[in-house]
A and B are shown apart, each in its own frame.
Chain A
Amino acid sequence: DGGITQSPKYLFRKEGQNVTLSCEQNLNHDAMYWYRQDPGQGLRLIYYSQIVNDFQKGDIAEGYSVSREKKESFPLTVTSAQKNPTAFYLCASSIKQGSGNQPQHFGDGTRLSIL
Chain B
Amino acid sequence: LAKTTQPISMDSYEGQEVNITCSHNNIATNDYITWYQQFPSQGPRFIIQGYKTKVTNEVASLFIPADRKSSTLSLPRVSLSDTAVYYCLVGFQKLVFGTGTRLLVSP
Q: Which residues of A contact B (CB under 8 A)?
A: 4, 35, 40-45, 88, 90-92, 97-101, 103-109, 111
Task: Pick the interface stretch among B26-34, B58-66, B69-77.
Answer: B26-34
B90's closest neighbor in chain A, by CB? A100
- B interface size (C-beta, 8 A): 23
Question: Is B43 an interface residue, CB under 8 A from the partner?
Answer: yes
B54 interfacial contact with A, CB 8 Å: no
Q: List 28 A-B contacts (CB under 8 A).
A: A40-B99, A41-B99, A42-B100, A43-B44, A43-B97, A45-B94, A45-B95, A45-B96, A90-B43, A91-B43, A97-B93, A98-B92, A100-B30, A100-B32, A100-B92, A100-B93, A101-B32, A101-B51, A103-B34, A106-B43, A106-B44, A106-B45, A107-B43, A108-B41, A108-B42, A108-B43, A109-B41, A111-B41
Would B87 and A42 count as touching, CB distance under 8 A?
yes
Residues of A within 8 A of B43 (CB): 4, 90-92, 106-109
- Whole-angstrom distance between the alpha carbons of A101 and B97 in the complex? 16
Which residues B4-44 have CB closer than 8 A to chain A?
A: 30-32, 34, 41-44
Q: Of B32, B92, B97, which contacts A35 at CB under 8 A?
A: B97
B interface residues (Cβ-Cβ under 8 A, vs A): 30-32, 34, 41-46, 49, 51, 87, 91-100
Nearest CB of chain B from residue A56's CB, rounded to whole Å: 10
Residue pairs across A and B with CB atoms within 8 Å: the count is 50
Contacts A40-B99, A109-B41 known; list 10 others, CB within 8 Å.
A4-B43, A45-B94, A45-B96, A88-B41, A91-B43, A100-B91, A105-B46, A106-B45, A108-B41, A108-B42
Q: Please report the C-alpha to C-alpha distance between residue A100 and residue B28 in the assembled complex, in whole angstroms.
A: 11
B98 near A42 with CB under 8 A, answer yes
Distance between Cα atoms of A92 and B67 in the complex (Å) = 31
User: Does B49 contact A103, Cβ atoms closer than 8 Å?
Assistant: yes
Q: Does the CB pair A100–B31 fall under 8 Å?
A: yes
Provide the residues of chain A in CB contact with B51, threshold 8 Å: 101
